[in-house]
Chain A
Amino acid sequence: MGRLVRLAGVMTLTWASLLLLLVAFERLIAPMPTLPDHLGGPLATGVLKPLLALALASLWLYAWRSLIKLYRRRALRRWTR
């Protein structure tokens, strides 16, 4: 039962952080103004926005992976103790 509660906590945390990630896309990346023409204009903005979104998503995936690794390390320690 204990393991289920802890795993449910990990899942809920993952879900909440996913929602935060989506809000971050909308609040931080979507409203970015179009770059001036000498910096590439709309074309550069069109490339930059997806790249920033990809970077943010990669950061989230990295955090998720780290959380799972941390859980597993601690779980194995609990089992072998």
Chain B
Amino acid sequence: MVALNPIALASSALASAALALALTPMVIRRHYALGIAGRDVHKPSAPLVPEMGGLSIVASTTVGSVVVALMVPEVRVHALALLAAFLLAAAIGAYDDLRGLRPKVKTALTVVCCTPLILASLVPPHAVVIGRPTLPLVGPLRLTVIYWLLLPLAVAVPANAVNMMDAFNGVMPATCLLACLSLFASGLVSGRWVAVYLTPPLMGSLAAYYLYNRYPARVFSGDVGSLAVGAALGAVAVLAGLEVVGIVALMPHIANAFHSLATVKRLFERRELNERPVLVRGGVLEANPSPSAPLTLANLILSEGPLTERELVRCFVALSALCSALAVVTAALMEVRL
């Protein structure tokens, strides 16, 4: 049983938020100077925006997680395993941003990010217990083989799903912050303190970073940010035994990834698409009605008519808020047996 340490929670969240607030403007200036910038294709003027702003999320979350590891010895191994998975995903994302990786290679590499979680559970003192998920309305399950076969996907799927939804200003930090909040609340509801301690550093970073990434974005996260944040969410869900809660909280991201992949029928990069899911007409965004356009969540939302980017982002946030609330209900249902 881990005692709740509010000072550790507040310190880790505040440390990471302060660092993200301080680092992001520096990253913006540095990336302008180095020419690491991409076009914001959803604006009529397609302005150049610095990429790889996710570096500030990576640095600030790392510091916040170290604060947790130092202040709460009971979750030290969990925090270090999470940090290792997070940094592995960030390294893959950074390489992709700078050099470019083929979609299949990138996805295969993110599968490796679950290694620190497996090692933390296998290596003494076995502080991390994984492989016994609790399902809502069903109770704890002992999956001796299937769980370990699916475990690599538990980090790779959220990492790539979050990466695929990072297409509009502010969507990644806002929706992931909501998912993080739901894991934190689910941890409180179900008494899984690992989730309560591991989420504040990420919440602090994302909240501060959102101020720079919100519409109109002054910086893009790049794969370094989105892959790392997605991997961290998956890792927290696994380490806290909140796998189903994580799936529900990330349902918009998973829906976006699953339905686009099901339309295109292969792994893809946005730049290699023949038909974009969203068309820019003047100041508004429209769904591409072509049956071969990827059926992304944006395409789905815009199927009922055009919206401005700001309105579209509000829809994303509203749907994420709903799924985050459903995730907390799911956590409460973990204590209910049919």
Binding site for B on A (CB under 8 A): 2-4, 6-8, 11-12, 14-15, 18-19, 22-23, 25-26, 30, 46, 50, 53, 61, 64-65, 68-69, 71-72, 75-76, 78-79
B136 on the A face (CB < 8 A): yes
Contacts of B318 in A (CB 8 A): 4, 8
Chain B min CB distance to A26 (Å): 4
The minimal Cβ–Cβ distance linking B324 to chain A, given in whole angstroms, is 11
Question: Which B residues from 213 to 264 make CB contacts under 8 A with A?
Answer: 244, 247-248, 251-252, 255, 258-259, 262
Size class of the B contact interface (CB-based, 8 Å)? 20 to 34
In the complex, which of the residues A11, A71, A75 contacts B252, with contact meaning CB atoms closer than 8 Å? Answer: A11
Interface 9-residue window, one of B83-91, B111-119, B179-187, B299-307: B299-307
Set of chain A residues within 8 Å of B300, measured between Cβ atoms: 7, 68, 71-72, 75
- Beyond contacts A11-B326, A72-B300: 5 other A-B pairs, Cβ-Cβ < 8 A, are A7-B315, A11-B255, A15-B326, A61-B258, A71-B300
Q: Which residues of B contact A64 (CB under 8 A)?
A: 258
| A-contacting residues, B277-333, CB 8 Å | 287, 289, 295, 299-301, 303-305, 315, 318-319, 322-323, 326, 330, 333
Q: How many A-B residue pairs have CB under 8 A?
A: 85
Check if A19 sits within 8 Å of B251, measured CB to CB. Answer: no
Closest Cβ–Cβ distance, residue A34 to chain B (whole Å): 15
In the A-B complex, the 9 residue pairs with the closest CB atoms: A75-B303, A3-B304, A26-B138, A75-B304, A79-B305, A22-B135, A15-B326, A72-B303, A76-B303
Which A residues touch B303, using CB under 8 A? Answer: 71-72, 75-76, 79
- Judging by beta carbons under 8 Å apart, are A2 and B304 in contact? yes
Q: Is A8's CB under 8 angstroms from B305's CB?
A: no
Tell me which residues across on chain B come within 8 A of A71, comparing CB atoms.
300, 303
Q: Are A3 and B301 in contact (CB under 8 A)?
A: yes
Q: Distance (Å) between the CB of B270 and the closest chain A CB?
A: 20
Q: What's the Cα separation between A79 and B301 when bound, in Å?
A: 11
**Beta-carbon contact of B137 and A19 below 8 Å:** yes
Q: Tell me if B248 and A22 are in contact (CB < 8 A).
A: no
Chain A positions within 8 Å of B1 at CB level: none
Would you call B3 an interface residue if the criterion is a C-beta within 8 Å of the partner chain's C-beta atoms? Answer: no
- The reply to whether A19 and B146 form a contact with Cβ atoms under 8 Å apart is no
Residues of B within 8 A of A (CB): 135-138, 141, 145-146, 244, 247-248, 251-252, 255, 258-259, 262, 287, 289, 295, 299-301, 303-305, 315, 318-319, 322-323, 326, 330, 333, 338
Interchain CB contact under 8 A, B248 and A15: yes
CB atoms of A11 and B333 under 8 A apart: no
A76 touches B287 (CB 8 A): yes
Chain A neighbourhood of B137, CB < 8 A: 19, 22-23
Q: Are B295 and A72 closer than 8 Å at their CB atoms?
A: yes
The answer to whether B323 and A79 have CB atoms under 8 Å apart is: no
B146 to A23, Cβ gap below 8 A?
no
Q: Is the CB–CB distance between A22 and B301 below 8 Å?
A: no
Chain B residue with the shortest CB-CB distance to A24: B138
Q: Which residues of A contact B255 (CB under 8 A)?
A: 11, 14, 68
A contact residues around B322 at 8 Å (CB) = 8, 11-12
Take A65-B259, A68-B295 as given contacts and tell me if A26 and B135 are in contact as well, using a CB distance cutoff of 8 Å.
Answer: yes
Residues of B within 8 A of A68 (CB): 255, 259, 295, 300
Chain B residues in 8 Å Cβ range of A19: 136-137, 330, 333
